[in-house]
Amino acid sequence: MDERIKKYEAKMQKSLDNLASEYATIRAGRANPHILDRIRVDYYGTPSPIQQVANVSVPEARVIMIKPYDKALMKAIEKAILTSDIGINPSNDGTSIRLVFPELTEDRRKQLCKDVKKKAEEYKVAIRNIRRDGNDSFKKLGKSEEISEDVVKELQDDLQKITDQFIKKVDGTAADKEKEIMTV
């Protein structure tokens, strides 16, 4: 495969990876420690991920337990969770913090599926933008006469095939997440 195309394929792969990590933070009724990935705790003036300042475990299917290494961080972790957008109230028993995930209602599941579709659409647009950038750069190469028009057309066709593959992968990832959310 041409080096000029590999650069755009790598960008598309990075977009797909970002989508997968965003989907990991969407809760589907089961406790998933990745929901805490974006939450930062003020650890002596430094915003730190919860996983670096506490032991995060899943003792039951719908419970996440957070045990801080430093007991002084209990309030800071609790505050960070409350101010985040995960929508779960932490319960503090003095030594650990528990996050109990309620069973999702049918309406909430449908809303989450809409969010999944919206995110998938955003990433498809991002992938198409990468394709457009690639096509523009190939056209510039053709105009500066570094490569022939036939080579430009071939590069554009190859890039379109890769774009189609990544769009299918985004659709597949979205469908898997929707299935996970709708499974009771």
Predicted pLDDT of residue 1: 62
Predicted pLDDT of residue 157: 93
Predicted pLDDT of residue 8: 92
**Under DSSP, is residue 81 helix (H, G, I), strand (E, B) or coil?**
helix
**Tens of pLDDT, residue by residue, the chain (184 residues):** 678 889 999 999 999 999 988 887 776 667 778 888 888 998 888 888 888 899 999 888 888 999 999 888 888 888 888 888 777 888 888 889 998 887 878 888 888 899 999 999 999 999 999 999 999 998 888 888 778 888 889 999 999 999 999 999 999 999 998 988 887 6
Predicted pLDDT of residue 129: 95
pLDDT, tens digit, 9 for 90 and up, residues 104-140 = 788 888 888 999 999 999 999 999 999 999 999 988 8
Predicted pLDDT of residue 125: 95
Please name each of the domains of the chain with its CATH number.
Answer: 3-24+105-182 (1.10.132.20), 33-100 (3.30.1360.40)
Report how far residue 95's alpha carbon sits from residue 72's, in angstroms, rounded to the nearest whole number. Answer: 10
**Under DSSP, is residue 102 helix (H, G, I), strand (E, B) or coil?**
coil
Report how far residue 154's alpha carbon sits from residue 134's, in angstroms, rounded to the nearest whole number. Answer: 12
Predicted pLDDT of residue 101: 81
Predicted pLDDT of residue 172: 94
Q: Which residues contact 133 (CB under 8 A, 6 or more apart)?
A: 8
Predicted pLDDT of residue 86: 76
Neighbours of 61 (CB within 10 A): 9
Predicted pLDDT of residue 182: 83
Predicted pLDDT of residue 87: 75
